[in-house]
Structure 1
Amino acid sequence: MDNNNKEKFHENYIEGRNAVLEAFRSGKTIDKLFVLDGCQDGPIKSITREARKHDAIINYVAKERLDQMSETGKHQGVIAVSAAYEYAEVSDILENAERKGEPPFIIILDGIEDPHNLGAIIRTANQAGAHGIIIPKRRAVGLTPTVAKTSAGAINYTPVAKVTNISNTIKELKEKGMWFVCADMGGTTMYDLNLTGPIGLVIGNEGDGVSKLVKENCDMTASIPMVGDIDSLNASVATGVLAYEIVRQRLKSGK
């Protein structure tokens, strides 16, 4: 196995039936569970029952995949991936804004898969005064040690909530008076939009951008003026540019 794969697979892995079961029962936050495909014995059923109870994502995989992931060689057909940090609730993010006496500023990430991007975004969110970040449970990176390290400590101060459905969460927050702007190359130039007040900034996947359904639930689409020879920015850089346009407009308007 090469060094890159080794780094990818060793972070926060819990191996073995007893260890995984105890991790769930002790209240440890488990992002994902990898189970040997076809294994349905009693201990495995107990583990998957706990996983569903705690809303962890279950992946049934071949023995070769588990062997590749395993550090100990004693996975016993099950490996859990624990979060490096505890997740917040969306309500915690709103309370964070209320406590500071500020209109909510939330960054929503629609499928960011690169831990370095997520870590950099958490760092930017903290510096730009965002009250929290929302990420989806599926098809996205969670709070891994690499994310924590890349955030340079910001993960300790910026709450990150994990939700089942980004579109539904946006709808619920709109009912609370929030407006949403998503990053899109075909959108209105960010300088021509009013980005003050209670706002959510939606950033899409590194390759595909914001998904169609999520984009349809946003009130505005914002594009970043670009004059170079390529047509897109790294997701964390795009977040920084748009977040600081929101900061600029808030400072100017006093809102």
Structure 2
Amino acid sequence: MTSTDTPRPPDGRAARWAGQRDRRRREFVEAGLRAIARHGPEVSTEQIADEAGVARTRLYRHFDGAADLQHAIAARIAELVTTEFTPLWNPSGTPMDLIRTAIGAHTRWLAEHGPLYRYLTKHAMAGPDGSPDVFADGKTAIARQLTVVFEHYLGLFGMDTRVCEAVAFGLVGLVESSTSRWLENPRGVGRAELAALLARWVWGIVDDTLRAGGVELDPDAPLVAADLTPHSPGRS
């Protein structure tokens, strides 16, 4: 066996550097979040570096330029936004409890972290490496998960599940566009009022979809499959 045939042991130094680089990237991203909260969505790379306690040139040892840094920060913010919808993926309680909890958490997060959300929408572009638009990707992930929830419940009653994706994407679009516009121009509408309106609208769409398939669901009753009563046309 020649020397070229001998397997080389893993380069421990390279692995350690990769791990350190990932850790430092995460630290700089968190510093970016703090800098945005302090300086607003127009924060500069210099201000992010100051928040991290390093020179700007140090940032570029861990990011491939300003666009890579912006994309990483936007991706982290998108994760935080997506987390607010977690209650929907483990349904319990009543339908309105689920809707109010998810929308209430989302609107509360926006009200408390407006600069982060504005930064996300400002820098929601494809990454320099060709990775997808993190804002659109996050909304798509939420809508796809919601589609799975709808498919499960509509499927229990033999309803046409083909509509689930359209309904899920429509609801996500409604909530996102309404809250985004409210954040920029609330027009005297308080956060709690907005959340209540959105919850009512979301339930209205869900209820209409269920009734079209002959299913009547009490929005204030526990979400248990046995409690849902399908009604075929002509039956009372």
Of the two, which has the highest radius of gyration? 2
More strand by share: 1
User: Do both proteins adopt the same fold according to a TM-score greater than 0.5, normalized to the shorter chain?
Assistant: no
